[in-house]
């Protein structure tokens, strides 16, 4: 009975993780995996890897930026009463 996270929260998490993933891929030791004498179409593998990861990051950022809507104003005050939100919970069942 897990309530699915809203898509925007998922996108926000992805946007936060993207630079971390990029950092991981660009820094040793990950990048040293592709150091070698191998070539693909005459171009050294490490060059392809470097520019390939770069391009993928750009593509991901473009997709995320396009889909990431502005968050709702986070200044919404919390509900004044401490009543448990049980009234609303069933309404958000993912049946719709």
Partner 1 sequence: MLSANVVLVTALLYVALLFAVAFVGDRRARTGRLGWLQSPLVYTLSISVYCTSWTFYGAVGSAARNGLEFATIYIGPTLVFVGWWVLLRKIVRIAHTQGITSIADMISSRYGKSATLAALVTLIAVVSTTPYIALQLKAVATSVQVISNSGPDTLPGNVDAAPDFHVGFWIAVGMAVFTILFGTRNIDAKERHHGVVAAIALEAVVKLVALLVVGVMVVFGVADGPERIFAAASPEILHAQDAFGPRWVAVTFLSAAAVICLPRQFQVTVVENVDEGHLRTAAWLFPLYLFLLSLFVLPIAIAGVSYLPAGTDPDMFVLTLPIWASRNDIALLSFLGGFSAATSMVIVACIALSTMISNHIVMPVALRLRWVSHSASGEIRRFLLVSRRISICVMLLLGFLYFRFSGDSGALASIGLIAFVGVAQVLPSLLGGLFWRQANVGGALSGLVAGTLLWVYTLFLPSFGSDLILSPQTLAAGPFGIELLRPQALFGLDNFDPLVHAMFWSLSVNTLLFVLVSLARDARPLERLQGTLFVDVFRTPAATAAGLLRRSATTDDLRLLAQRILGDDAAQRLFEQAAQQQGRAHAAPIADDAFITQFERTLAGSIGGASAHAMISQVVTGETISLDALVRIADETQRIREYSHELEVKSRELEATARQLGEANERLRRLDVEKDHFLSQVSHEVRTPMTSIRSFSEILLDDRRLDAAQRERFLRIIHEESVRLTRLLDSTLELNLLEHGETPWQQVPIDPELALDNSIGVCQVLAAGARVRLIEGERARGATVEGEADRLSQVFINLISNAIKYNTSEAPWVRVSSRLDHAAYEVLIEDNGPGIRADERELIFSKFRRGWAHTQTSTPGIGLGLAISWQIMRRLGGSLTLVERSGPGACFKVRLPYPQPVT
d(CA 34, CA 75): 47
Closest to 18 in 3D by CA, of 46, 59, 47, 66:
59
7/65 with CB nearer partner 1: 65
7/62 with CB nearer partner 1: 62
**Residue ranges of E strands in the chain:** 39-40, 43-44
7/27 with CB nearer partner 1: 27
Which residues contact partner 1 (rule: CB under 8 A)?
Answer: 1, 3, 12, 15-16, 18-20, 22-23, 26-28, 31-32, 35-37, 39, 41-44, 46-47, 50-51, 54-55, 57-62, 64-66, 68, 70-71, 74-75, 77-79, 84-86, 89
Taking a C-beta distance cutoff of 8 angstroms, is the pair 53, 26 a contact? yes
Q: Which residue has the tokens 């891929």?
A: 25
Nearest-approach distance from CB 81 to partner 1, in angstroms: 11
């Amino acid at each position: 009975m897990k309530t699915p996270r809203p898509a925007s929260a998922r996108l926000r998490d992805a946007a936060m993780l993207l630079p971390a993933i990029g950092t991981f891929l660009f820094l040793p030791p990950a990048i040293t995996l592709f150091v070698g004498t191998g070539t693909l179409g005459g171009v050294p593998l490490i060059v392809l890897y470097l520019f390939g990861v770069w391009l993928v990051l750009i593509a991901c950022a473009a997709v995320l930026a396009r889909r990431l809507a502005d968050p709702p104003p986070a200044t919404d005050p919390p509900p004044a009463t401490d009543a448990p939100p049980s009234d609303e919970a069933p309404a958000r069942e993912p049946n719709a």
